[in-house]
Structure 1
Amino acid sequence: MAEPIRFRRHPLGRWPGLRTLRALILREMATSYGRSPGGFLWTVLEPVGGIALLTVIFSLAVRVPPMGTSFALFYATGLLPFLMFLDVSRKIAQSLSFSKQLLFYPGVTFTDAIFARLVLACVVHALVFTIVLFGIVIYDQVDVILDLPAVVTAFALAATLGLGTGCMNCFLMRRFPVWANVWSIATRPLFLLSCIFMPFDSVPTGFRDVLWYNPIIHIVGMNRSAFYPTYRADYVDPVYVLLIAAILFALGLSLLFKWHRDLVLR
């Protein structure tokens, strides 16, 4: 007697939430990188163009970079985590708008949409970090003693702060549409106030005490300390960054849990 045919269960079959997350990530990939010419290439070219511009401008003004021998490496170590924070927070803030139609299905929740965008953004920026920094090291022939745990910590802090800020903005931008314009204006000075152009230690003392409360300063300092062994970033406090991120995430998520049904209908 022939044995009955047995179908193997899909590895994610027991975890419907993971299947939903995977489907949302694939949709995000197809939408964000599959429809435009160049796709992922533009994600790499954006920081490369910014770093190249900063390198040209400041190399004409000063002879040596503030740290090391490579202008490009110095600006990359500050610009890449900054751009990651902005991109992660922006993508998560747009989660409800981006997945609005899918949220009407019972198997899809707004937290699935948030974490799908977070996972994909982290993977993309990990690739960008690797490609850009490796390219600079090869092109400028820089001898780097890399502190990999510090790089991973800076990367994780940027992702966590982006998650918390994005969750809070996700609620505010859907509940109060004018907040999108307010946030856009408020974040423009961050490019100048996040020590991308100069080390935190070179900022005047009076202004430095105020600037310390910008959590991005700590992320940039952590990342730079990973590439410059002689740079002592004693001012960096990862716990402070995590505390800010946790407060924003908890507050934003609690507001979304309460209002997400009304916000999706807007």
Structure 2
Amino acid sequence: MSSARDLSKYEPFDGLFTRVQKFSHLVGVVLLQDVRTRYGGRSHLGYILGIMIPLLHMSVITGTFLIKTAISPVGDSPGLFVATGVIPYILCLYPAREMPRTLMENRQLLAIPMLQPIHLMVSRAILEMLSAIIALSIFVLGLYLLEIDLVPIDWHDAARAVAAAIFLGVGLGFFNTVMVAAVGFFYIMFFIVLAVTLYIFAGVYFPVNAMPEEIREYAEYNPIFQLVEWMRTAYYTSYDIGEVNKPLVLGLALAGLALGLIGERFIRGKILSP
């Protein structure tokens, strides 16, 4: 009897493990289907093109800056300076922008009773994170071949900045997915306009001390600006780590994730309606 009582206390954990295992399996199935649906059939070419889009975006912004600028505003390499600005922006933008498309592209999967919108949202988040990491790796390799050294002074802080950019993009992606389901796809157009505005005032092309004081006061509330500064503190000793508002970035990411998860429960019926 005592052994039975001892074993019974593990039953809730067994049930939790089973639910997590089932959830992971469903997300994996949806992930594979999402890749086929989004990138076209069984061809790997579609997925390669999906990675090329953010990669080309980073390359175009960097190349445009290098054509116009021969002297770096900070340090000796203009390529390094603009790369440390564009990387966090792209890593944040694409998950936040592409995640809401999953409900539109995979709505037919919701006809399967065991699948819920949360499975689609998590699978797209994983796909976007993997795509971002692959695109970043190729971009860094390309810069290395062009003799632009992207080795940071502080590896740990650079990794944290990259992780924070992706985390903010995923958190906003969950929130944007719910908002698109609630108010319509035009919301994503509003988000793109907002993202471009934040990009303009993020200091990608110029250092923070080049901003007028009145603009800098507002820019400090810009999470993209904070991500760019966070990344650059890992490369330039002249950047003061105290200027980076990390709680703002992480707080917005957590708030977006929490609101997205809560909102998915409240509007699930609306999402599932034809």
Give the TM-score of the pair, scaled to structure 2: 0.81
Show the counterpart of 1:113: 120
Q: Secondary structure at the match of 1:127?
A: helix
User: What is the Cα deviation at residue 257 of structure 1?
Assistant: 0.4
Alignment of 1:74-113 (within 5 A): 74-113=81-120
TM-score of the pair, normalised by structure 1:
0.83
Distance 1:31 1:75, change over 3 A: farther
Once the two structures are TM-superposed, the CA of residue 93 in structure 1 deviates from its matched residue by 1.8
The aligned counterpart of 1:15 is 21
Moved more, 122-131 or 170-179: 170-179
Deviations 1:163-211 (A, max 9, x none): 2222222122122124233333333322212221112232112211111
Query: Which of the residues 222, 242, 245 maps onto 2:250?
Result: 242
Measured in 2, the distance between the counterparts of 1:158 and 1:105 equals: 34
Structure 2 counterparts to residues 154-169 of structure 1, below 5 A: 154-169=161-176
> Does 2:38 align with 1:69?
no
- Which range is displaced more, 177-186 or 148-157? 177-186
Counterpart AA for 2:207 = P
- Aligned equivalents of 2:129 and 2:201: distance in 1? 24
- Among candidates 133, 137, 161, match of residue 126 of structure 1: 133
The aligned residue for residue 3 of structure 1 is: none
Distance across 2 between alignment mates of 1:126 and 1:229: 26
Query: Relative to structure 1, is the Cα distance of residues 222 and 101 closer, same or farther in structure 2, using a 3 angstrom cutoff?
Result: same
The SS at the match of 1:140 is coil
For 1:146 and 1:29, the matched residues in 2 are separated by 36
Cα 1:227/1:38, change in 2 over 3 Å: farther
Superposed CA offset, 1:65-115 (max 9, x none)? 123333332222221221121110122222322321112323222221111
Q: Write 1 or 2 for the structure with the bigger share of helix.
A: 2
- Write out per-residue CA displacement over residues 96-154 of structure 1, whole angstroms, 9 at most, x where no aligned residue: 22321112323222221111111121111111112211321331253734422222212
Deviations 1:203-251 (Å, cap 9, x if unpaired)?
1122111111011111122222223344334311222211122222222
Of 185, 190, 194, which aligns to 2:198?
190
- The gaps in structure 2 that reach 5 residues or longer are 1-17
Structure 1, unaligned stretches of length 5 or more? 1-11
- Relative distance call for 1:126 and 1:48 in structure 2 (3 A) is closer
**Residue identity matched to 1:165:** L
Query: Once the two structures are superposed, what CA deviation does each residue of 1:28-75 show, in whole Å capped at 9, x if it has no partner?
Result: 223334557843443454455445544554445443112333333222
Q: Is contact 1:164–1:245 with CA below 8 Å preserved after alignment?
A: yes
Q: 1:17 to 1:218 in 2, by over 3 A?
A: same
**Contact preservation (8 Å) 2:88, 2:228:** yes
State the distance in 2 between where 1:80 and 1:50 align: 10
CA distance in 2, matches of 1:148, 1:16: 36
Sequence identity percentage = 24
In structure 2, what is the equivalent of residue 210 of structure 1?
Answer: 218
Count of aligned residue pairs for this structure pair: 255
User: What secondary structure does 1:188 align onto?
Assistant: helix
Over 3 Å counting, the alpha-carbon distance change for 1:209 and 1:19 in structure 2 is same
Higher mean alpha-carbon deviation, 21-30 vs 31-40, is at: 31-40
- What letter is aligned with 1:231? Y
